[in-house]
Chain A
Amino acid sequence: MDQTTTLNKKYISTLSDKDDIGNLLIRSRKLKDRLFKIAAMFFSFITIAMVFLIIGSLLAKGLKQINWAFFTQVAPDTFSAMMAKSSGQVIPGGIVNGILGSIYLVALASAMAVPFGILIGVYIYENSKKRYAAIIRDIADILQGVPSIVIGIIAYIWIVVPLTKGYSVFAGSVALAIMMLPLIVRSTEESLKMVPETLKEAAIALGTPYYKVILRVLIPSSFSGLMGGILLAISRVLGETAPLMLTTLGNPQVNWHIEKPVSAVPLLIWQFYNDPNMVDLIWSSAVFLMGFVLILNLASRWICAKKKI
């Protein structure tokens, strides 16, 4: 009798001990789980805070210099900037030579990269089973990973030295075009893959010649994807500075000659950064560049998301 009660007591006590341990285990597991979730929220918050910190601090510093002259006048020389600074005025002038130069460079680069990019993208899409097409795709991926400064060296060797015998718009736009090409190739291929096979088959069944299938069916139905890819590529190269430093150098005046140097907004920022008298202009130019690039970036995302077949 006694034995059984002690046994019972023992049993009960071990049970409750076990229960305590079990509770403790569960509690520690739940605690760990909660801590991990807090860590995830914390680090994501830091990442997001960085976005706001960078964009916010730029806006706070740069918005006040942006006025009408900013978009209509060329960049000031060091002397006039110094004079204005010493007398406490706003630095005169703007960045119109950079804005026009950037547009010129990117337009020329797009004219080179977009047609070839789309053709190559269509080729990879059409021959996706072939080994050769897979190699072309891999090459596009490799080109996409090449650092922009190396592309600058290439454009220098190919264009600046033998062709234009000096820094030029052409060299800069070739560098940007090489950077755009793989982006457009891959986005074209990806958006063509989204077109339902049945659409294509229907067109072929009607006896449509293949170039018309591409022009009238494939491209129109993947148009938003193509445009999104092109805009994204443009937004990527618009802010590129390093390759332009080796190819177009910069120009204090607006220039339309293809074999002469031209300025670009990122090049102007680099120039302002190196010139202590022009510090005020850095921020407004940086805000302008970032705003332009981010708007293009968001627009490409919006276009891509808007239309799904």
Chain B
Amino acid sequence: MFILPLDTIHEGSMKFLYIQLILMQVNSDKILKRVLFAASLVILLIAAAMVFSLFKGSLPSISRFGWGFLFSPEWDPTQGREHYGALLFIVGTLLTSVVALIIALPLAFFTSLFVAEYFRGTKIATIVSTLVDLLAGIPSIIYGLWGFYMLRPFIVTLGLSPQGFGVLTSALVLAIMVVPYATSLSNNTIMMVPNELKEAAYSLGATRLEVIRNVILPSARSGMTASYILAFGRAIGETLAVTMLIGNENIIPKGLCSTGNTMASVIANQFGEASGLQLSSLIEIGLLLFVMTTLINAAGKYIIKKIA
């Protein structure tokens, strides 16, 4: 007689609890989804605001010089006859980065063959790849110091340039800095080459070199190209090491041993004291740098996506 009501009460409260629990769960799931989505908006906003701020900051310079900014080799902050053009910095940046890439190419190519093919899976390969990755961890300013105090005297001794500053010195240091970026992805793509293909080539009597040339390189070529492109993007944006070694002279470099200036270096050197039109021109150089690195990285990523 009195068991029934108790039971029904019990059942009823349990039902209520369940419903509440389910509601809570649905609710919490919804909240979670919104929080995650809101967080994703943050990075979107940062990127959009970045482009906007750079563009807004360089508006005075853009409206004053227009496209001529890109093609004028003159950088004159003298009051009254101010004129700014980015050509010499663009040339300096591209020249140092291209030379650096040319120097880094054999180092990176053979090191990734060493790690991913010749000594693949051995202890030596692990040690070598760890050491190469350590190169990526060394701060830029330390590369600059090393280049300034160790490499520069060496360049002077060789008689390449009187002070030791210049495109070649910066490119040498840059080359060491980008080797880890060029190797890590190449390693992966070389390791991804199917073993069956290599074994088939070996069974036909191919030597290792022939396997590398006819089997590994054709199928790893695009991945390796992508890694060199990404390394090039790194080299373009590198600031302090280059600033300490390029000589910071506002001229278009006449050769490998000539001094010059790069986009990142001129920002680092002049941003603190700049104002007005000069500041705006420096920000426009920053915008150019942003556009260049983004395009280069996008090209690299596009190639990687095509492989995958």
Contact = CB atoms under 8 A, between A and B. Distances in A.
Contacts of A120: 36, 39-40, 42-43
Interface stretch (A1-9, A32-40, A78-86, A92-100): A32-40
B146 A58 contact: yes
B37 interface: yes
Nearest to B237: A147
Interface string B146-177: 10101000000000000000000000000010
B39 A119 contact: yes
B71 interface: no
B99 interface: no
A43 B106 contact: yes
B35 A270 contact: no
A289 B43 contact: no
B66 interface: no
A136 B54 contact: no
B40 A294 contact: no
A40 B118 contact: yes
A33 to B, nearest CB: 4
A167 B293 CA distance: 27
B146 A239 contact: no
A63 to B, nearest CB: 15
B145 A273 contact: yes
Contact of B141 (A140, A211, A269, A298): A269
Contact of A139 (B44, B179, B208, B268): B44
Contacts of B44: 136, 139
Nearest to A279: B149
A187 interface: no
B290 A146 contact: yes
Interface in A142-158: 142-143, 145-150, 152-154, 156-158
Given A214-B32, A294-B137, A142 B47 contact: yes
Contacts of A154: 50, 53-54
Contacts of B132: 47-48, 51
B239 interface: yes
Interface residues of B, number: 82
A156 B57 CA distance: 11
Contacts of A43: 106-107, 109-111, 114
A57 B154 CA distance: 14
B73 interface: no
B138 interface: yes
A16 B14 CA distance: 97
Given A147-B236, A148-B237, A140 B43 contact: yes
A202 interface: no
Interface in A239-289: 239-242, 245-246, 249, 266, 269-270, 273, 282-283, 286, 289
Given A46-B107, A123-B37, A245-B272, A239 B139 contact: yes
**Interface magnitude class on chain A:** 35 or more
Interface in A26-56: 29-30, 32-33, 36-37, 39-44, 46-48, 50-51, 53-55
A30 B176 CA distance: 32
Given A29-B210, A145-B233, A51 B114 contact: no
Given A48-B128, A239-B142, 10 more contacts: A54-B142, A54-B176, A119-B39, A139-B44, A153-B57, A153-B271, A210-B29, A241-B140, A242-B264, A286-B142
19 contacts: A40-B110, A43-B111, A47-B135, A51-B131, A54-B176, A142-B297, A145-B293, A149-B239, A153-B267, A153-B286, A158-B49, A209-B28, A239-B140, A240-B140, A241-B141, A241-B239, A242-B239, A273-B141, A293-B138
Interface of B: 24-25, 28-29, 31-32, 35-37, 39-40, 42-44, 46-47, 49-50, 53-54, 57, 106-111, 113-115, 118, 128, 130-135, 137-146, 148, 150, 176, 179, 207-210, 212, 230, 233-234, 236-240, 244, 264, 267-268, 271-272, 282-283, 286, 289-290, 293-294, 296-298, 301
8 pairs of A and B residues whose beta carbons are closest in the complex: A239-B139, A147-B237, A43-B110, A119-B39, A145-B297, A297-B137, A44-B114, A242-B239
